[in-house]
Chain A
Amino acid sequence: MAEVALKKVVKRYGDTEVVHGIDLDIAHNEFVVLVGPSGCGKSTTLRMIAGLEEISDGDIVIGDTVVNTLPPRRRNISMVFQNYALYPHMSVRENLGFSLKIAKRPEAEIARAVEDAAAILGLDALLERTPAELSGGQRQRVAMGRAIVRHPDVFLFDEPLSNLDAKLRTQMRVEIKKLHAKVQTTIVYVTHDQIEAMTLADRIVIMKDGHIVQVGTPLDVFERPVDTFVAGFIGSPPMNLIDGTIRDDTVVFGDGRSLPVPPDFAGRLENGHRVVFGFRADVLMPKGHALAESGTVHDIDLTIDLAEPLGSESMLFSSLAGKEIQARMHNPRAVRSGEVLTCELHLDKCHLFDAETTRSLRGDG
């Protein structure tokens, strides 16, 4: 059993603070992904959990132990590094067994543990090779094998897929998910790729500038982003965001066009409140090319600048109040540039953010 808890954890380098007192509770067996743009402090946080960086303030608890000053070897964790960090002078077998050898376990036990891990990851045939003789995906697997071989309390992944090509990344993502199902361990996973975060995580922790911005299930953070940063960061394409002002339950944009205030937000906002209207491409669809959905629908005419056919659907690029926006066209047909289409906007799934604080104006959020 190993929960991980971060309590007001701070990291300073000299006088610059890079992680500002973050709190996070991770349950046993949970798969938590720390995601954010580079420099947001996610890797530093992971390395503090690993014990590779000292913490400047606060507490880190693994299981029942406060590990603040424990060296990495005493924390019973394992880690998969971005560059795999395989030992080049050892065979795959020796790499896998290294931690057990250091722990002075009997030969037979090491051999068995290595075989087991190799079987789980399909490395059986590669055991006598050296890392230099492996492909990127195989190295990645060895790195994971080295991590699972001694049944740690917590797995740490530091951007493990960023050095793989797109196809292999998708494949390894599935393998990591399967691995988690098999070995049942707490996992903390760092990435800058929101798709990885969405597909892998039980819970996503979105970080920015050394703060945690939002914690929630993938669906949570997708459907109810707490601010414009999360709205823009999670989901692909990013959410369309347009500045406007409230007037009599409508949002008026800079060019004079307006949209009704979404039902979730109606009746709560004063006239003159400056807001950001947000909606995803998925909820803006040309008439006749939309998914049949119930709910409040508002029609707007849009001049299409460009259509990007993707086969089963097309992405449409247009603009609203001077901002480029995207819409999604199901059962696509050819669209000319400059063509005007009437589109349905599903107001139930739209968002309003405060223009000043960037926070969501959803009452319960």
Chain B
Amino acid sequence: MSTRTKNILTWIVTFVIMLIICLPGLWIILSAFRTNGEILTKPAIWIPQNLTLDNFRAIFGYGENVVGIPVASYFRNSLVISVTSTFVAVLIGMTGGYAFARYTFPGKAATFLWLMLSRTVPGIALSLPLFIIWSRMGIIDTQFGVILVYTAINVPFTIWLTEGFFRQVPRDLNEAAQIDGCTPWQAFWKIEFPLAKSGIASAGIFAFLTSWNEYALASQLTRSTDSKTLPVGLMDFTAQFTIDWAGMCAMAVIIIVPALILTFLVQKHLIAGLTFGGVKG
């Protein structure tokens, strides 16, 4: 095969793969702007006849065909829960990651391993005892209850990422700062934190996405508009007699968009973080 044919072939294969990756999402986005009538028509209508924002109006409770699903509340819950748990998880994870990167203490390796292993527990398996305990404590179906859980499941990964980033900051910078007159806290805050900032930010975005996307735990720990998140709310549609595909697609778009934006922001640091966290000892 000549180099030219090879190149063309490479391009074709790449194009097909990219299409497979992009098409499902694009199709959902497109469907979100179509009417249910058009989606359900047989044989299929390929070129959309009229694009409309009605689906979005409907799920947020405006317009003629109001959907009986309180998407606005779900959105608010998702936002509050994700933002709060991310903030707390980053705070706790960063402190822990710093300790693992900078200090040696007895049982360090074992502690690290156990923290990471805690992340492997399947959500559904963890939901069983949490469901019982949270019920007894009266924090089932509350934002607080979910925030607590999400913080905990985000901490290990945040520690892993930030530990890697802090390790990249040479230790003697901290020492130089202390000699320059800094307290240990000042040395951290003025020197090491700014240098690891981008890594910490990507850890935060990762934690946010985990919380934003989580389903297994939330589906058991939330019941009502008080705490139900968007992924759980999406399942509300399937409980109805006729599935409102267009509405579901509109809601899916609402879940996708923040994820897409954040991915765009975080991609560079994320790869760096995952790679050196794993490869360098």
Contacts and interface: CB of A to CB of B under 8 A. Distances in A.
B178 A98 contact: no
A71 B194 contact: no
B183 interface: yes
Interface stretch (B3-11, B154-162, B168-176): B168-176
B172 A85 contact: yes
Contacts of B64: none
B260 interface: no
A146 B180 contact: yes
B173 A87 contact: yes
A85 B175 contact: yes
B195 interface: yes
A185 B195 CA distance: 33
A77 interface: yes
Contact of B175 (A52, A99, A102, A103): A52
Nearest to B169: A88
Interface residues of A, number: 23
Contacts of A73: 178-183
Contacts of A51: 178-179
A167 interface: no
Interface string B170-213: 10110111111111101000110011000000000000000000
Contact of A102 (B172, B180, B195): B180
Tell me if A's interface is mostly helix, strand, loop or mixed.
loop
A304 interface: no
Contacts of B186: 102
Interface in B40-80: none
Interface string B104-145: 000000000000000000000000000000000000000000
Interface string A139-173: 00000001000100000000000000000000000
B176 to A, nearest CB: 4
A81 B181 contact: no
A79 interface: yes
Contacts of A72: 175, 178-179
A140 to B, nearest CB: 14
B183 A85 contact: no
Interface residues of B, number: 18
A88 B195 contact: yes
B197 to A, nearest CB: 9
Contact of A85 (B173, B182, B184, B190): B173
A79 B173 CA distance: 11
A83 B179 contact: no
Nearest to A149: B180
A78 B180 CA distance: 7
Contact of A50 (B179, B181, B182, B190): B179
Interface in A203-222: none
A216 B178 CA distance: 32
A182 interface: no
A160 B180 CA distance: 17
Given A87-B191, A102-B186, A79 B181 contact: no
Nearest to A152: B179
Given A81-B172, A83-B170, A83-B172, A89 B194 contact: yes
Interface in A180-237: none
Contact of B181 (A82, A87, A102): A102
Contacts of B176: 79, 81, 85-87, 146
Contact of B178 (A71, A87, A103): A71
A148 to B, nearest CB: 12
Interface string A51-82: 11000000000000000000111000111011
A202 B194 CA distance: 41
A81 B177 CA distance: 12
Nearest to A89: B194
Contacts of A83: 170, 172
A62 to B, nearest CB: 13
Contacts of A150: 181
A176 to B, nearest CB: 18
User: 6 tightest CB-CB pairs across the interface, nearest first?
Assistant: A99-B180, A85-B176, A85-B172, A102-B181, A72-B178, A73-B181
7 contacts: A50-B175, A52-B175, A71-B178, A73-B181, A73-B182, A79-B175, A83-B172
Given A50-B175, A71-B184, A102-B182, 5 more contacts: A81-B175, A81-B176, A82-B172, A98-B177, A146-B180
